Amino acid sequence: MNKTLIIAQREFTSRVRKKTFLLTTILLPLLFAGFYFAIIWFSVKGGDAVKVLVSDRSNVFNGNLKSDADVSFHFLNQATEQQLADSINAGSFNAYMYVPEHFNNATDSIRIRTAKSLGLLTKEKVEKRINGQFQERKMLTLVSQAQLDSVRKDANLDINPLKSEKKQDKSGAAYIVGMASGFLIYIILFIYGTMVMRGVMEEKVNRIAEVIVSSVKPFQLMMGKILGIGAVGLVQFLIWIVLSVVIRGILPSLMGMDEQTSNAMAGAATQVPTTGLLAQIESLNIPLIIGCFIFYFLGGYLLYSSLFAAVGSAVNEDPQDAQSLMLPITMPIIFAIVIAMKAVNDPTSNLAVFGSLFPLTSPVVMMARIAHGIPDGVTTMQLILSMVFLVIGFLGTTWLAGKIYRTGILLYGKKPTWKEMWKWAFRKN
């Protein structure tokens, strides 16, 4: 078997078998999903319903307070305060409200007593209902219902950009998908890049590198590591995709929710008109986006991980050395996410075009553009060029990193500068 593959296999299995891999791969999304559902669950279900018994002796509310699932008002207008208190104690109501006879807002107060102290949200809801109804009744003594309604009505606004009515249809979804996928690649480059760097540093510090390079070429060792960790990343993604599909399908029925609640949950989760967004997402070219995502993930990973490997080979025991040497590598990634934020708003600007062609930034920036589709976000020509540049780019960085790596991995002592590493890269033999 090819030695690069043997090394990649070891890198892969030793990481996949670790407990932390299981933890991060399976538990993390579960944890997120758990949070997600818990938050929605509680925000939809709220606390227990509060039943308020109302004795409105001055008829301030005219028997008219809006009830819903969380807070309900029940009128018993002739009851004395003592009777109200008794029914609370009997447990049939959680609270009572007592409006004294000849109620005057300047001097009197409406008494609300609760069995247990109310939660902040519930309290706010109760207050809002009562005050709203109270003000409305007051105003109606001054103006007519029709006048009140006309005052309340908002101005009719129609906000839309001048050009390209059609594009507007999907820009919301394109924005979200573009930004999310760009950001995901940005995170991946960092996480897996530093994973490669740490692996290389470990080999150097453990001094196993010398044993191994007496069996294989340093380049094979580096590539094996990069490929092995890349495979870990891919597997992690696959597991996440499968998990998220399974969780979305299974969890609502596990929690005993009917179709309606889960719909309500989805609605509450996004805070956006869901039907519109869903339609927008369907209008995106999903296969193209996923295909490009995988391509740019792999391309970007190969491009950057070899650079991270070169840095790892150059540093010694001191992790702080790694920090400072990493800076020139992390800068373009950060730069890329900044351009991507611009590009997702304006995918055809000069900056976006440059960023999506330049191989150091293209994996992140192109994802922001590609979400807008072809040809709205990016032309086919630009996409092909970008892909070609990325391939050339990672071949270049891998070659360069291989040279640095070969010298660095066996060199102990002081921390090299970038200038020295540059010399290693272009030295013959």
Partner 1 sequence: MNILEVRNLRKYYATQKAVDDISFNLAPGSIFGLLGPNGAGKTTLIRMITGIFYPDEGEILFNGRPFNPQTDILQTGYMPEERGLYKKMKIGEQAVYLAQLKGMSKSEAMEKVKEWFIRFDMQSWWNKKVEDLSKGMSQKLQFVTTVLHEPKLIILDEPFSGLDPVNANLIKDEIYRLAKNGASIIFSTHRMEQVEEICDHIILVNKGRKILDGTVKQVKQQFKEHQFRISFDENPKSTQSDVFEVIEENQHELVVKIREGRKPNDVLQFFLDQQTGINAFQEILPSLNEIFIRLVEGTPLARQFESINA
Binding site for partner 1 (CB under 8 A): 1, 3, 6-7, 10, 14, 203, 206-217, 410, 429
Of 111 and 427, which CB lies nearer to partner 1 in the complex structure?
A: 427
**Cis peptide leading into residue 375 (ω within 30°):** yes
Smallest distance from partner 1 to CB 325, Å: 20
Smallest distance from partner 1 to CB 169, Å: 53
Q: Is residue 10 a contact partner of residue 227, using CB atoms and an 8 Å limit?
A: no
Of 6 and 26, which CB lies nearer to partner 1 in the complex structure?
A: 6
Helix axes 380-408, 218-254, angle to 10 degrees: 120
Helix axes 380-408, 286-314, angle to 10 degrees: 20
CA distance to 185, 285, 347, 370, per residue, from 375 (Å):
22, 11, 10, 9
Smallest distance from partner 1 to CB 182, Å: 35
Smallest distance from partner 1 to CB 3, Å: 6
Of 212 and 272, which CB lies nearer to partner 1 in the complex structure?
A: 212
Of 312 and 332, which CB lies nearer to partner 1 in the complex structure?
A: 312
Smallest distance from partner 1 to CB 18, Å: 8
Smallest distance from partner 1 to CB 6, Å: 5
Of 11 and 56, which CB lies nearer to partner 1 in the complex structure?
A: 11
Locate 172 and state its tokens: 């919301």
Complete edge-to-edge strand list for the sheet that includes strand 111-114:
71-75, 50-56, 95-99, 111-114
Of 380 and 429, which CB lies nearer to partner 1 in the complex structure?
A: 429
From the list 338, 337, 342, the residue with the least C-alpha distance to 352 is 342
Of 213 and 337, which CB lies nearer to partner 1 in the complex structure?
A: 213
Q: Where are the beta strands (DSSP E) in 70-143?
A: 71-75, 95-99, 111-114
Amino acid at residue number 63? G
> Tokens 């101005």 identify what position?
155
Of 1 and 159, which CB lies nearer to partner 1 in the complex structure?
A: 1
From the list 338, 55, 356, the residue with the least C-alpha distance to 183 is 338
Smallest distance from partner 1 to CB 14, Å: 6
Smallest distance from partner 1 to CB 217, Å: 8
CA distance to 3, 265, 405, 406, per residue, from 212 (Å):
11, 55, 14, 12
From the list 272, 277, 275, 252, the residue with the least C-alpha distance to 41 is 252
